[in-house]
Structure 1
Amino acid sequence: MADTYAPEQACKDARERLERKGITVRAFAAQHEIHESTVYAVLNGQKKCLRGEAHRAAVLLGIKEGTVAQ
């Protein structure tokens, strides 16, 4: 079975993008109405990001390609 977790480098790049923009994880989560703990789990590679809030966070963070219902 294929590894479905986000690649470590993609997570690192997403953290760096937030840092460059001066956005905290808390602010990102609040802005997009996502639980802060979910954003941290996605950034740490602890979620598969296949569906739901984790998928939405991964797409918005640029970790994976996909669409997000607004």
Structure 2
Amino acid sequence: MLKSIKQVRDDFSQSGTSIAEWSRDNNFSPDLVYRILKNNKIPQRGESHKIAVKLGIKEQKFMK
């Protein structure tokens, strides 16, 4: 089940894990993760897409 950006932000707040800490633990740029969560627009490609999939706000697309 996909999450909304608000749900992801709430999860971070409830878990006590900072967005920056999660970003570093998953080898992503904290700035890019913050931008995705602030923008309220689901990324379509590249590193932003990978972050969105890892956060659970977008499904992984498999290429043939």
Question: Which category describes the TM-score, using the shorter chain as reference length?
Answer: 0.7 to 0.9
- The answer to whether the 8 Å contact 1:49/1:58 transfers is yes
Tell me whether 1:34 sits opposite 2:21 in the alignment.
Answer: no
Tell me whether 1:59 sits opposite 2:53 in the alignment.
Answer: yes
Q: CA deviation at 1:47?
A: 5.6
TM-score in terms of structure 2 length: 0.77
Q: Which runs of 5+ in 2 are unaligned?
A: none
Moved over 3 A (4+): none
TM-score in terms of structure 1 length: 0.71
Task: Write out per-residue CA displacement over residues 21-62 of structure 1, whole angstroms, 9 at most, x where no aligned residue.
Answer: 221011011011111111001101266511121111111111
Counterpart residue type for residue 58 of structure 1: A
Q: Given the superposition, is the C-alpha separation of residues 22 and 28 from structure 1 closer, same or farther in structure 2, using an over 3 Å criterion?
A: same
RMSD of aligned residue pairs (Cα, Å): 1.9
Aligned residue pair count: 59
